[in-house]
Chains A and B, each alone.
Chain A
Amino acid sequence: MFRSNNLVARLFERQTHRSTPGTNIHRARQFYENLVPSYTIYDVECPDHSFRKFTEDGQYLISFSRNYQELIVYRPSWLSFSCCGEECDVHDLPPRANKFSSFFTQLYCVSLASSNELICKDFFLYMESNRFGLFATSTAQVHDAPATGGAVQGVPSIEKITFHLLRLEDGIILDKKVFHNDFINLAHNMGVYLYEDLVAVVSLRYQTIHIIQVRESGNLVDVHAIGEFCRDDDELFLHSSAQCGTINENSRQKQALLNSNEGVPNSGHSTTPNVFLSGIKQRLLSFIFQGIWNEEADETNRVQRLKKKFYFHFQDYVDLIIWKVQFLDRHHLLIKFGSVDGGVSRNADHHPAFFAIYNMEAAEFVAFYQNSADELYFLLEKFADHFYTPPNNSLHTNFISSHSNNLNACEQLTCLKNKSVSFSQFVKKTLVSLPFTCQSQSPSPYFDQSLFRFDEKLISATDRHRQSTDHPIKFISRRQPKIPKFKIKPGPEAGNTDARAKKVSSFLFHPILPLVISIQQTMFLQFSVVNIHFRK
């Protein structure tokens, strides 16, 4: 790595010295130590939008109108100005630097939501390969919705959830997918996971994982629906087999009626209460059963084990619902199962939970863990990058710090591990992050823990609102621990007049440029202070 901290010296060194094989990108990223967003323009004049995020390639800034009906997309541009005379550095920035439009050019404004629908402000997925964006709009939640048609009791219902696929180049809506009377956890992309061209959507209400393919042509195509049935033609096979007597004939007609309602992926729920275990439950239970059966060769011991570990908990296993899903690769899903209460509530830490790995092609489970399983924890500790599967396979996202690719993050984890009172509690706490939420981490190099150190309570790569303090957030160089490289201060320059008012801030880091937007909002008040941090 570089010997000097001086930018010019580093550039020379790059010309004359080769980097260690395989580390050229790491070395290039070190230049970010010299190029930091250290200059702040406070309270920028900007349109009153809700800013969501930069796309992972830095091409677009996504924002929504305050009434959550419209999508407004900007292209980040660099502030440019000319000055006459010598010694340009001492000049102040021109007055228009205070304008949002000097940094961002509006590309277009598209109306996404219609009538009673609103844009889900926390939901956005980006497909870098063909620059498609996936957005969601929905109607209001109904909390005490009756559990009809095979729905899980206790899960709220949303009358209509629409996914919109947009080509971000020109804002053309390419395709839509509508879910009716369903519940999908859209907050922070929780219920939806994008991997390459596959999208997994978890219907909490009908306990179905919908696998949807995004075609290059811009179409959303249903590929699998895993839940009541595991294979695509299972239902067809069931109805076409000879066993179907009069009862099934009847339900098949209903099915046909339902299916005529086109574009509704979840119309296939059986209308009669089902006595049989759902396809995915049958597979899960038989996997658990077989595991215990094979564990013990002695018959009498086996009986005892089955009684204690399987029959005793059988109803609990049956009552488990799918909470969250992520892709591990194109064929394997990591599924988190838990109780109904925990699936809906935000803080599900104290609810019992299980992790299972499911192979979609073979339609079988490969592994099953409790949320206190050491084995899964060790896998996560060593191979976190295999769990964090970036959907786009892009260069930027490959360098997001995790405890398996970054020594500093690893040390932090070890420190937490040593501090924790009980190991199993620690394991549970760490495993809460599984399955990972799609595109929830900013790929910005300023969050690279081998370059910078910062207080993770105040700021981190994870895309969340944070409580804001009046102190600027320091980013300290890893190599020179005494020198703060830059500070990010959200809110007005002079600090807030009312110190008691609760404030939350969010930070949007550009993935490549030294450009950050910080938005500070005072609770219960609508206005927000937007600062732009960049390299002057």
Chain B
Amino acid sequence: MMMNSGSSSGGGGSSGGGRTSWPSTTSPSGKRIQKELKELDSHPPPLSSAGPIADSLNHWLATFLGPPGTPYEGGIFFLDILFPNEYPFKPPKVMFKTRIYHCNVDSSGNVNLDILKDGWSPALTISKVLLAIRSIFLNPDPYNALVPPIAHLYQVDRKRHDELAAAWTHRFAK
């Protein structure tokens, strides 16, 4: 069912991943992504989902429904996932496309997750990444904050933090 462009793009040094040079199904990263896609299909993570945009394999979109009981409840958050050509030896790049009030997400949508940086291991899969992102919805990590003021507020005045986060969800993530 998946298409491919025929040409293997393996060695291309294109960074950031436009839609032009994606790993084909014949390249190692393409095969790996295919496999993860199948795994994701059979075991979808709770209240989230992900899939390739159009017919490119290295550009995915993930959607998270704000977990109930958190200030993100009711929101729908879209995230871009870009797989580098060196995947799985390099981590995928994850960006929020929906504004969120969260100490681990900066004002350009970058996510601070250890497993997407130094903590990355080729043994990790996209399902694990999705679970990790889901966990920061439930438990923000103020000790590895990208936005210190939010982390500070989270620790000092949790109620106010939650109010603000809920207001953001209401305004920008509905």
Q: Which residues of A contact B (CB under 8 A)?
A: 230-231, 234, 237-238, 241-245, 247-248, 275-277, 279, 282-283, 285-286, 289-290, 293, 299-300, 302-304, 306-307, 310-316, 363-364
Is A244 in contact with B44, judged by CB distance below 8 angstroms?
Answer: no
Is B78 in contact with A277, judged by CB distance below 8 angstroms?
Answer: yes
A232 → B minimal CB distance (Å) = 11
A290: B residues at CB distance < 8 A: 76
B167 → A minimal CB distance (Å) = 7
A276: B residues at CB distance < 8 A: 96-99, 109, 172
Contact with A286, one of B41, B53, B171, B174 (Cβ below 8 angstroms): B174
Is A241 in contact with B147, judged by CB distance below 8 angstroms?
Answer: no
User: Which of B6-14, B54-62, B117-125, B127-135 binds A?
Assistant: B54-62
30 CB < 8 A contacts A-B: A234-B171, A234-B172, A237-B171, A238-B172, A241-B101, A242-B149, A243-B149, A245-B107, A245-B149, A276-B99, A282-B78, A282-B98, A285-B76, A286-B76, A286-B78, A286-B174, A289-B76, A290-B76, A293-B49, A303-B40, A303-B49, A303-B51, A304-B41, A306-B49, A306-B63, A307-B41, A310-B51, A312-B52, A314-B61, A316-B54
Most buried by B among A237, A238, A275, A293: A275
B167: A residues at CB distance < 8 A: 237
The digit string for B75-90, where 1 denotes a CB below 8 A from any CB of A, is 0101000000000000
How many chain B residues sit at the interface, stated as a range, is 35 or more
B32 → A minimal CB distance (Å) = 18
Is A244 in contact with B172, judged by CB distance below 8 angstroms?
Answer: no
A244: B residues at CB distance < 8 A: 107
A299 → B minimal CB distance (Å) = 6
Is A306 in contact with B51, judged by CB distance below 8 angstroms?
Answer: yes
A92 → B minimal CB distance (Å) = 72
Of chain B, the residue at the smallest CB distance from A312 is B54
The digit string for B25-53, where 1 denotes a CB below 8 A from any CB of A, is 00000000000000011101000011111
B53: A residues at CB distance < 8 A: 311-312, 314-315
A176 → B minimal CB distance (Å) = 32
Q: Which residues of B contact A (CB under 8 A)?
A: 40-42, 44, 49-55, 60-61, 63, 65, 76, 78, 95-99, 101, 106-109, 147, 149-150, 153, 164, 167-168, 171-174
Contact with B51, one of A238, A285, A299, A307 (Cβ below 8 angstroms): A307
New contact pairs (13) apart from A243-B147, A275-B97, A276-B109, CB-CB < 8 Å: A230-B171, A243-B107, A282-B98, A282-B174, A283-B174, A286-B78, A289-B63, A293-B49, A303-B44, A303-B51, A306-B51, A312-B52, A312-B54
A114 → B minimal CB distance (Å) = 41
A269 CA / B55 CA spacing, docked (Å): 33
Is A312 in contact with B172, judged by CB distance below 8 angstroms?
Answer: no
Contact with A311, one of B51, B147, B164 (Cβ below 8 angstroms): B51
Which 9 residue pairs are nearest across A and B when measured between Cβ atoms?
Answer: A311-B51, A286-B76, A307-B51, A242-B149, A314-B53, A275-B109, A303-B44, A314-B61, A277-B97
**Contacts A247-B107, A311-B52, A312-B51: A275 and B95 contacting too (C-beta < 8 A)?**
yes
A463 CA / B54 CA spacing, docked (Å): 42
A285 CA / B98 CA spacing, docked (Å): 11
**Contacts A275-B95, A289-B76: A241 and B164 contacting too (C-beta < 8 A)?**
yes
A178 → B minimal CB distance (Å) = 29
A238 CA / B107 CA spacing, docked (Å): 10
A471 CA / B87 CA spacing, docked (Å): 73
A248 CA / B149 CA spacing, docked (Å): 14
A231 CA / B101 CA spacing, docked (Å): 17
Of chain A, the residue at the smallest CB distance from B46 is A299
A277 CA / B100 CA spacing, docked (Å): 12
